[in-house]
């Protein structure tokens, strides 16, 4: 039985959304595969998104960036964190290589490492003689270079970037998920298609749960009922600027927001706004929810963008200042789905009615096929076969 160790960064939920479909496709090819997941992401989210039957080792092997909020990088804190992380890089790599050889809890050493998208385990796998692949739409080396490119930072940033780049280049290949950053510095790239789950559209059921078939508000208006989902991924949004009680109140509409947002409203405000509901208590699979609403409000991130595009869900987004990956994500969604840019403030105030109307007026292109998971799984299965895995094809 071959053993795959997968590291998934805890920087947001998009990396989990990328990894889940690939592991599911790989399990179809290799049903007896032993799977170990190393991540600092919430266990509940990992269990929901990844195929069953994996051993979880809670550990952070990267931090990506220190975020001030879902939109902005905390530049000084990130710079300090990278300097500390690379202060004795060779010793850190040696310790991680030894950890891979002697995993905790009696877990055997892996036959293959897949990293989304920490570079330390790639360098450690190379040191330990274990084959490894990187996989994502981004890599921290390119984002680091884009973030710390000022001449005044070159003296300390250049050596760190060189170590990051060398770690990524030590992998057998980088599985580059469409859409992705260019990654021109990585000469062993394997481009695969989009990776996204396809949700089960359950619009009528959702409308019933939200009271759209029971109240009189839909009858009072000739406009169609609308359900709009606000989702900003796994990094908490500061609630100070939120003014949910002032969001537009439209007959036949429901706003689905994170529970933490709704809790910023007073009890009186919540009672007065039954059209604003938290989506977590519904207990729905997130992709089913996304496939059942009329639009999504969010920010550029691979998980939401790929799932919105492949499920045909219209999206309003606010840009993330200084986040280089969005330069690949936004044109892709504009070409393959319906999307429209709004100002960040509009996510706080709900001043999006005109933008939603313009979004819904756009023609809907055919959704792209999420064929990247099967393509990536085929590459990994071939390497596992070399390690002696009996293939269930």
Tens of pLDDT, residues 141-190: 999 999 998 777 878 999 999 999 999 999 999 999 999 999 999 999 99
Separation of CA 231 from chain center: 12
**Assigned CATH class of 203-361:** alpha beta
**For residues 309 and 194, is the Cβ–Cβ distance under 8 A?**
yes
Q: Which of 134, 85, 132 is nearest to 109 (CA)?
A: 132
Confidence band for 238, pLDDT divided at 50, 70 and 90: low
Average pLDDT over residues 31-60: 97
- Per DSSP, 153 falls in state G
Q: How many CA atoms lie within 13 A of 214 on its CB side?
A: 9
- What is the spatial distance between Cα 137 and Cα 175, in angstroms, rounded to a whole number? 8
Residue given tokens 């994170």 in the structure block: 258
Confidence band for 232, pLDDT divided at 50, 70 and 90: confident
Give the pLDDT score at 190: 98
Average pLDDT over residues 277-299: 96
Average pLDDT over residues 187-199: 97
Separation of CA 36 from chain center: 20
Average pLDDT over residues 361-390: 92
Residue 2 exposed, middle or buried by CB count within 10 Å (0-12, 13-18, 19+): buried
Give the pLDDT score at 165: 97
Q: Give the torsion through C-alpha atoms of 32, 38, 39, 44, to 10 deg.
A: 40
Q: Which of 114, 98, 125, 112 is nearest to 388 (CA)?
A: 112
- What is the spatial distance between Cα 137 and Cα 268, in angstroms, rounded to a whole number? 44
Residue 315 has pLDDT above 70, yes or no: yes
Q: What is the DSSP string of 43-71?
A: HHHHHHHSPSSEEEEE--S-----BSSSS
Would you say the C-alpha torsion 31, 35, 40, 42 has a positive or negative sign? positive
Give the pLDDT score at 233: 72
- What is the spatial distance between Cα 355 and Cα 157, in angstroms, rounded to a whole number? 41
Confidence band for 390, pLDDT divided at 50, 70 and 90: very low
Q: Which CA distances in Å does 36 have to 5, 58, 113, 114?
A: 5, 11, 10, 10
What's the CATH code, domain 3-195+371-386? Answer: 3.40.50.2000
- What is the spatial distance between Cα 158 and Cα 174, in angstroms, rounded to a whole number? 22
Of the chain, the percentage scoring pLDDT greater than 70 comes to: 94
Give the pLDDT score at 219: 47
Q: Which of 156, 85, 167 is nearest to 118 (CA)?
A: 167
Average pLDDT over residues 102-116: 97
Give the pLDDT score at 216: 47
Tokens for 275, please give them. 């059209």
Give the pLDDT score at 12: 86
Q: Which CA distances in Å does 381 have to 18, 25, 26, 124, 366?
A: 17, 10, 7, 22, 30
Residue given tokens 């070409």 in the structure block: 335
Give the pLDDT score at 266: 95
- What is the spatial distance between Cα 341 and Cα 305, in angstroms, rounded to a whole number? 13
Kindly give the residue spans of alpha helices, DSSP state H, lying in 30-153.
43-49, 75-85, 89-101, 120-128, 140-147
Of the chain, the percentage scoring pLDDT greater than 90 comes to: 87
Give the pLDDT score at 222: 56
Determine how many CB atoms are found less than 10 A away from the CB of residue 330. Answer: 17
Residue given tokens 């689905």 in the structure block: 256
- What is the spatial distance between Cα 142 and Cα 90, in angstroms, rounded to a whole number? 21
The widest CA-to-CA distance across the chain, in whole angstroms, is: 69
Q: Where in the chain is the domain with CATH 3.40.50.2000?
A: 3-195+371-386, 203-361
């Amino acid at each position: 039985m071959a053993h795959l160790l997968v590291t998934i960064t805890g920087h947001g939920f998009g990396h989990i959304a990328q990894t889940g479909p690939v592991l599911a496709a790989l399990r179809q090819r290799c049903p007896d595969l032993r799977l170990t997941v190393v991540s600092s992401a919430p266990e509940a989210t990992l269990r929901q998104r990844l195929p069953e039957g994996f051993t979880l080792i809670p550990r952070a092997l990267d931090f990506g960036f220190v975020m001030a909020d879902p939109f902005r990088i905390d530049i000084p804190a990130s710079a300090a964190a990278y300097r500390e992380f690379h202060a004795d890089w060779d010793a850190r790599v040696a310790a991680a290589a030894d950890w891979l050889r002697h995993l905790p809890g009696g877990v055997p050493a892996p036959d293959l490492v897949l990293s989304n998208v920490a570079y330390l385990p790639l360098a450690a796998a190379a040191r330990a003689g274990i084959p490894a692949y990187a996989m994502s739409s981004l890599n921290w080396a390119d984002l680091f270079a884009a973030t710390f490119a000022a001449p005044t930072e070159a003296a300390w940033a250049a050596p760190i970037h060189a170590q990051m780049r060398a770690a990524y280049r030590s992998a057998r290949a980088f599985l580059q998920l469409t859409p992705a950053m260019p990654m021109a510095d990585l000469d062993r790239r394997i481009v695969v298609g989009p990776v996204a789950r396809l949700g089960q559209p359950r619009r009528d059921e959702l409308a019933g749960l939200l009271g759209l078939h029971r109240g009189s508000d839909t009858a009072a208006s000739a406009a169609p009922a609308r359900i709009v989902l606000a989702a900003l991924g796994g990094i908490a949004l500061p609630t100070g600027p939120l003014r949910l009680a002032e969001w537009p109140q439209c007959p036949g509409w429901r706003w689905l927001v994170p529970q933490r947002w709704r809790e910023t409203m007073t009890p009186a405000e919540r009672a007065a706004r039954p059209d604003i509901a938290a989506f977590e208590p519904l207990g729905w699979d997130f992709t089913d929810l996304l496939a059942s609403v009329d639009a999504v409000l969010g920010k550029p991130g691979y998980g939401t963008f790929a799932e919105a595009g492949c499920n045909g869900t219209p999206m309003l987004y606010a840009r993330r200042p200084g986040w280089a990956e969005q330069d690949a994500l936004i044109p892709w969604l504009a070409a393959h789905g319906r999307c429209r840019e709004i100002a960040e403030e509009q996510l706080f105030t709900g001043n999006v009615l005109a933008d939603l109307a313009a979004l819904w007026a756009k023609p809907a292109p055919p959704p792209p096929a999420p064929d990247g998971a099967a393509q990536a799984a085929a590459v990994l299965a071939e390497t596992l076969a070399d390690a002696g895995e009996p293939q269930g094809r």
